[in-house]
Amino acid sequence: MSISSENQALPASVPTLGLKRKAFKAPLAVRPAVSNIPPAAREDAGPKPVSASEEHYYFNVLYTKHNPGKLRKNKSWADGVLEMRAGGRTTLFDTSGKSVTQTVARGYDPPSMGEGSSVLLGGWELEVQNRMEAAEFR
């Protein structure tokens, strides 16, 4: 087996498999990365503060794992709080304030949700008990 002149720089322990490798040519200059984000936006890359105009809705809910095969009376329900923000971003909290799940819920209108409304949120099934104010939750 003969080794080509291009593969002579490789150590003997590296198998060539009959492939010819081209010599590596380093680039002459490296260009900086191009970004479509304006410079002012790049400086504020951290989390944005919640503005007063952003709407938040809070609901007392009962929640359980979603299982369509079980009847409602046979499921184990827990108390929780559902937070719905503008854009459909929703978070389900348990009674201690710990986040259970976060997702984007589309197709729900928070102002029109009332007692008995059902919400499917990821793998969770929720039943709205009543609406609450943000001060009650925090």
pLDDT tens string 20-65: 777 777 777 777 766 666 665 555 555 555 444 468 899 999 999 8
pLDDT given at position 49? 52
pLDDT given at position 111? 83
Average pLDDT over the chain reads 77
Residue 41 dihedral angles phi and psi, to the nearest 5°: -75, -30
pLDDT given at position 68? 79
pLDDT given at position 53? 43
Is residue 46 a part of any domain in this protein?
no
**Residue 129 in contact with residue 60, Cβ under 8 Å?**
yes
pLDDT given at position 37? 63
pLDDT given at position 25? 79
* pTM: predicted TM-score of the whole model, two decimal places: 0.57
pLDDT given at position 52? 46
Is residue 108 a part of any domain in this protein?
yes
Check whether 118 has a pLDDT greater than 80: yes
Is residue 60 a part of any domain in this protein?
yes
pLDDT given at position 136? 82
Is residue 38 a part of any domain in this protein?
no
CA-CA-CA-CA torsion sign (15, 20, 26, 32): negative
> What is the average pLDDT across 59-80?
84
Q: Where are the beta strands (DSSP E) in the chain?
A: 56-65, 78-85, 89-94, 99-104, 118-121, 124-132
**Domain containing residue 85:** 56-137
Share of the chain above pLDDT 90, in %: 20
**Residue 125 in contact with residue 106, Cβ under 8 Å?**
no
Better-scored residue on pLDDT, 25 or 82: 82
Total domains in the fold of the chain: 1
pLDDT given at position 13? 63
